[in-house]
Structure 1
């Protein structure tokens, strides 16, 4: 073989490897997964002009209600639509909560590793390539399945996560919300050569600069913006955790809400959830940091409501991210099978807190036989009166509540606006002022790529040296945020 040909082949192999957001061992795991059940995942043809050369697959539950939500789920590199259908858990909640799921699929004809083109302006921009094909699938689902155009959501893993962020930026008028799992901020890379650099450490941009990348994807659009969930493992060395920080900075800036969380709490699987509320007090951006998890989608096999998925390469046992994403989007509030829904209770308010309880009250709803109370997305009680006291809570902890009226047939209505209550007591917040070098030495921060990131929040503190000083506030224990003002060390 001539040296010039060999060099071209080696360059092509190296470029493909830079895009390998999911390792090639995934193909081995896929071989032992069960195939899609008959009548389950179905391929759809003729959904549009398909400028991105994608394939469309869909899962539509039987007796799908009219005007049901629609979820678009994007696989990672080397994966297929069937891999994601089988292992992500989305079909379970489509059946439980009543919505359709579209699974786009790219192929080696588009990319050697079957990666979505999150780094290619010809594929990820408004009206272009793969992004345009995905939106054509949405339009098809609205026409064919009667999906509600106001409740369309997109989620994806790794390269699919990168494309998810790009779709949210290019089509904020199409998608009401998104969920990026082990993915990249919108428009992080605009060339194949820059893709691997984004994976290991995105550009050191300010939140406003990251936000400008979203605003520039659909110039002139002024909102409303999609609500965004961000999932990241702390031990991900394929798409580094700095990407989750950049995503957080990007979408909180777009929402204009700052980068300090409104509430932080713990979930199963060593997961820290940080919520960033909009001006109305509703979650606009939520980050989920899974301690010790590598590169993949968090799943939790089992038969419980909060269990989902199948473990395998890049489907990692921690907690069911699909369940928590669906609750964040409000998919769990629908009434499968349709029918009239009772209105949302108004006036939900916190009437009292102690170290181990939260008391709530709300305005009664005509026709309600009872009320379903949800804490952090999971139903915790049913009560006949428009008030409830939630016992057994942890001191000094923030909890989020919604309430839905339930009719005489047991069908829940629309959920109320969310309120947050923090129990009294617990360890007070502590503040530490030190150089970045000393913060790392004390175990309050970590280093990556020459920069320092606060443990828990993953906020970028600047260069790893003795010349930059920050104050970190610790609350809850082990979770640190930058608090250079208003926090006495």
Structure 2
């Protein structure tokens, strides 16, 4: 199946991300007041050549000097969809920042896609890009946001626009996240969009980097720190786009395309970090095994869980949590924290593992009064020694840990390298290879509109017939993911 983000006939099946609500219709929210604690619309925000609508959210009582995040929805979605399902408001409440949700409409694009492929709309000072810049200026003035900590993220067409905005306004955005999206300025016309989505453009890292550098000529840095999210079974925006994004932004940073470190996270996610000259992650690539086209969410009450599942909100891992941590919105500093001078503990290892616990140990750090222990990015404990047993875990589940030294004033240093382990027991995964029709008949998938979707993950498997086949992996009772690359 081949679809184009921005062309009605091709986008509808592949990018029809969640059935969109009417643009600013009867349910539109009223004009915003500062620190409202709910989603609000801002009716006037200055120059708006892109004909966009501005929505925003801020926790009640938000202090000045806090970060600001801009979050762009996908095609057929609205600001309300992204507000409800992406998980960003959870971390706005938890860590204290405001979120702007720009919204486009069918008046701009037949499927309400942001125009990432139109050079009259996605370049500095023009169209939708200029409208988003106006929103940033308005929100910064309203909330007293820290201009050095403004970030942009988006899904699919919104991700393509987010990449363009990072290139257009490196003086505005300190970081970005591109979820199931495309490199900055991959296409400059709508007719070129399909090729960007589905195939390699055969450009060198330097050529990709030039597309960013040419978007704001004369800018020499600092460059935004960029997180890239991609499912390996995305047949709308193909995984080659993640490789091209990595090439683009590592070249802009002048760093290697070889990962400085890798880690295994939940949801079949591999995290690859590309460090700058100071050893701090400048680019991170999160590749999610078997995930199709959409935003990675993981509903639940845990610190590292967020969002709501639905069409193109896929239950794998909370991407918003890991993105916010990468930007340093949790207070530890970008890329896991630069700390206060205390070095990262060395030699972190996992010892004895049971179905509910894991024993950790590491080497001592001079000047440390205690150590903070993090599981899957969230702080779970503190100890004065160089060992800690993490309890209350779920059987048969993979976890990751880091530790950081804490000085006598409570300042947290840099986090250690990540270690991973899987608890014993739990469900034994099974794999099934069959046609889409047989998967549906066997209850491993379901039909919707003539297409087969894996039960649980809701991944699009293609047409529901005997001519399309997949391997499905049952990772939990009744929960299936596409595992064509190996099981």
Q: TM-score range by the shorter chain?
A: 0.7 to 0.9
Q: Please report the TM-score for the alignment, with normalisation by the length of structure 2.
A: 0.73
2:362 equivalent to 1:359: yes
Deviations 1:306-360 (CA, angstroms, capped at 9, x unpaired): 111111100011111111111111111189xxxxxxx943131434455745524
**Cα 1:334–1:283, aligned 2, differ >3 Å: closer, same or farther?**
closer
Q: What count of residue pairs does the alignment treat as equivalent?
A: 393
Q: In the alignment, which residue of structure 1 is the partner of 2:156? A: 158
2:350 equivalent to 1:350: no
Report deviation, 1:28: 7.6
Map 1:151-300 onto structure 2 (within 5 A).
151-300=149-298
Map 1:80-91 onto structure 2 (within 5 A).
80-91=78-89
Map 1:421-436 onto structure 2 (within 5 A).
none
Determine if contact 2:21/2:78 at 8 Å carries over to the other structure.
no
Q: Distance in 1 between matches of 2:228 and 2:10?
A: 23
Report deviation, 1:81: 0.2
Determine if contact 2:68/2:97 at 8 Å carries over to the other structure.
yes
Report deviation, 1:199: 0.7
Q: In the alignment, which residue of structure 1 is the partner of 2:455? A: none
Q: Distance in 1 between matches of 2:287 and 2:117?
A: 24
Q: In the alignment, which residue of structure 2 is the partner of 1:381? A: 381
2:313 equivalent to 1:315: yes
Report deviation, 1:220: 1.4
Q: Distance in 2 between matches of 1:13 and 1:176?
A: 27
Q: Which stretches in structure 2 are left out of the alignment for 5+ residues? A: 31-35, 352-359, 391-398, 421-482
Determine if contact 2:77/2:112 at 8 Å carries over to the other structure.
yes
Report deviation, 1:401: 4.6
Q: Please report the TM-score for the alignment, with normalisation by the length of structure 1.
A: 0.73
Q: What SS does structure 2 have at the residue aligned with 1:331?
A: coil
Determine if contact 1:21/1:77 at 8 Å carries over to the other structure.
no
**Cα 1:14–1:285, aligned 2, differ >3 Å: closer, same or farther?**
closer
2:8 equivalent to 1:16: yes
**Cα 1:39–1:195, aligned 2, differ >3 Å: closer, same or farther?**
same
Report deviation, 1:82: 0.2
Determine if contact 1:346/1:362 at 8 Å carries over to the other structure.
no
Determine if contact 1:29/1:312 at 8 Å carries over to the other structure.
no
Q: What SS does structure 1 have at the residue aligned with 2:120?
A: helix
2:417 equivalent to 1:420: yes
Report deviation, 1:157: 0.2
**Cα 1:13–1:371, aligned 2, differ >3 Å: closer, same or farther?**
closer
Q: Which stretches in structure 1 are left out of the alignment for 5+ residues? A: 1-11, 336-342, 424-477, 481-489
Q: In the alignment, which residue of structure 2 is the partner of 1:94? A: 92
Determine if contact 1:230/1:287 at 8 Å carries over to the other structure.
yes
**Cα 1:103–1:28, aligned 2, differ >3 Å: closer, same or farther?**
closer
Q: Distance in 2 between matches of 1:176 and 1:361?
A: 34
**Cα 1:135–1:334, aligned 2, differ >3 Å: closer, same or farther?**
farther
Q: Distance in 1 between matches of 2:77 and 2:326?
A: 26
Report deviation, 1:273: 1.0
Map 1:124-163 onto structure 2 (within 5 A).
124-163=122-161
2:50 equivalent to 1:52: yes
Report deviation, 1:14: 9.5
| CA-based RMSD | 3.4
Q: Distance in 2 between matches of 1:44 and 1:354?
A: 50
Q: 1:62 aligns with which of 60, 63, 87?
A: 60
Deviations 1:380-439 (CA, angstroms, capped at 9, x unpaired): 4313x4x634568xxxx99655455696xxxx75x534443679xxxxxxxxxxxxxxxx
Q: What SS does structure 2 have at the residue aligned with 1:274?
A: strand
Q: Distance in 2 between matches of 1:105 and 1:359?
A: 48
Q: Name which of structure 1's ranges 279-288 and 152-161 shifts more when overlaid on structure 2.
A: 279-288
Determine if contact 1:359/1:389 at 8 Å carries over to the other structure.
yes
